[in-house]
Amino acid sequence: MTELSQLAGPKRPADPRRAAVAEGQRDMMSRFPTGVAILTAVDHTGSPRGMTISSLCSVSLEPPTLLVCLRSGSPTLEAVLDSGRFAVNLLHGTAQPAAALFASGAPDRFDRVHWEHDTDDPDAGGPHLFHDAHAIADCEVESRHRSGDHLVVIASVLRVSQFPGRAELVYGRREYRTWPVGESA
């Protein structure tokens, strides 16, 4: 059994009531607009991994710390755990195609976007998507906690790069919008 499968925990039998609550929660959270990010990491072979996330939260400013929630069993999570590092690319308003691509699980996603990763940079967390991001945080894993079918990863922020003048991409009611809503990037 791998470390990742141990962290995933036991599967629970199907329960119609729990399924209804889960669907209600999914609908409720769709009505809670949030920023959109692509989390990237490099796996043990040096290959880039990434996924679109919206479960991202600032935990502390002193020291700079954030948390992300990643689906157990994902290759991106495995790369994060193996390397101990990742980058959070906060997407700008015209990066909806990248958000959809990295949410799709397409195996060629890194062939279809511009990305850079400096392996000699001691603060590099994961590949940077400069063309799609309005800000990037390079992070180092501090701790992790299993919760249901996800792993909560708490990380120190090593560096933040910001690109002013790029409107933010948000997601709510199962649609992408540019912030402020209705404005173009």
Q: pLDDT by residue (tens digit) across 10-27? A: 555 578 888 888 887 777
Q: Where are the domains of the chain?
A: 3-9+34-179
Which residues, in sequence order, are bridge partners of residue 146? 151
**Domain at 3-9+34-179, CATH homologous superfamily:** Electron Transport, Fmn-binding Protein; Chain A (2.30.110.10)
pLDDT per residue as tens digits for the range 51-92: 999 899 999 999 999 999 999 999 999 999 999 999 999 999
Q: What is the pTM of this model?
A: 0.84
